[in-house]
Amino acid sequence: MRTWHVGAIVVAGYLIYIIGNGLVQKSAAFAKAQSLTKEKGIVNLGAGPQGVFSYQISIAPEVVANVDIASDGLPSFIEANLEQRLPFGDKQFDVAFASHVLEHLENWRLALGEMQRVADFTVIVLPHPLSIGGWIVPEHKQHFSFSDIKWMRNLPNTFVFA
């Protein structure tokens, strides 16, 4: 019985750590995006129906466009598929911000390339490679390893939080 309780405490602690770390990473990533913003603003990619913190990001004054395949009533919404060419000019934005988006895409490299094309800087938030949630969510089509994240971090003007 004691082993079960210890196991439950360890699992609960792990889940609290992962969820908390995800929120900390998203907050730190958006703060980084805000710090990089000058006059062109932030394009918030994958901004669709999400939680309270995601909504707060979508209405931040620096965010000039919220992009997803479904609006859910977001302000400054533009419908677009992130796995196709985005309807923006080259370097139209200061920052392309994508929080927990790339793992939902089949062609994440195309989306990443488009992010780099339309903005001076790219800020990405991914599930931590050891996050159970990153593996068990059925909508996740990609699972990023530590080496994937290192590769992305070596791209010019790209910041990755995981």
Determine what percent of the chain is predicted with pLDDT higher than 70: 81
Distance CA 39, CA 95 (A): 10
Could you read off the pLDDT of 29-79 as tens digits, one per residue? 999 999 999 999 999 998 876 677 788 898 999 999 999 987 667 778 899
Position 138 scores a pLDDT of: 80
Q: Is 67 exposed, middle or buried (0-12, 13-18, 19+ CB in 10 A)?
A: buried
Domain total in the chain? 1
Instruction: Identify residue 124 by its one-letter amino acid code.
Output: I
Write the CATH number for 132: 3.40.50.150
Tell me the residue range of the domain where 24 lies. 2-161
Judge if pTM exceeds 0.75.
yes
